[in-house]
Amino acid sequence: MSGMSAFDLSGRVAVVTGGNRGIGRALALGFARAGASVAILARNAGRNAAVLAELQSIGRPAQALLLDVTDRAAIPTAIADIEAALGGIDILVNNAGNAVLTGGVLSEPVATWDNILETHLNASFLLSQAVARSMVARGRGGKIINLASMYSFFGAGQEPSYAAAKGAIVLLTKSMAIELAPHDIQVNAIAPGWIETDMTREFLDSPANAAIIARTPAGRWGQPDELVGAAVFLASRASAFVTGVTLPVDGGYSVF
């Protein structure tokens, strides 16, 4: 293994949750361009179909399944469908997520708290558990990549559930990395900084934008495609000795 071949994902099957827009779409397309067969799991049929067409235009086998990651009972069926269509899963990206500005703990509804943790943390655990069991049974190793956040490290006074979930993702990543290392399964996380997506649009168009730019040494927001390099690295043989890491891709935001 040497040179660029270490980053080749040919013959691998990758699954990306929330893969029909934003960061998830960029990662799914990036994996396909690196040679992987790709399945996306997301809730919107129209956006799923659009990204499926993009994946197929790259020339790799692809699949798009409707899945709400908070529907626990549907997860095993989705994993089985992917394995039947594309083969055993080699790469899982737990990307699906949401965020709600509630104003803080004094005003956040319990239902919002429950939904945010279910979407980010519980779904990442359950999907990882199902896929890791399959990886172990097949004995070929694998890669699990969780999506953390800058709020994995900093408090978020206006959305405490999101910060709590993303903070927990870092320790879930480390815990799984320890357990699964003997099976040649590497578990890592990516912590995006301020990336321009539908979910972050309200910040981009708000007075908070000036403070965000001032704190980011790169002096700008990132684009979803700018996470692809880190994700392909963590999904490939190039990162065979990297596990339990949370890699910031943030234009230097976390330096301060």
In Å, how far are 120, 142, 192, 210, 225 from 251, measured between CA atoms?
A: 23, 28, 9, 15, 13
Q: Given the residues 31, 113, 151, 162, select the one marked as catalytic.
A: 162
- Rounded Cα gap, residues 214 and 219, in angstroms: 7
What stretch of H or E contains 188? strand 185-192
- Rounded Cα gap, residues 202 and 99, in angstroms: 11
Helix %, strand %, coil % for the chain, to 5? 50, 15, 35
**What one-character DSSP code corresponds to residue 195?**
B
The C-alpha angle 5, 226, 195, rounded to 5 degrees, equals: 155
Helices (H), the chain: 22-33, 45-58, 75-86, 110-117, 123-138, 160-180, 201-204, 208-215, 228-235
151 belongs to the catalytic site: no
Q: Which residues are designated catalytic?
A: 162
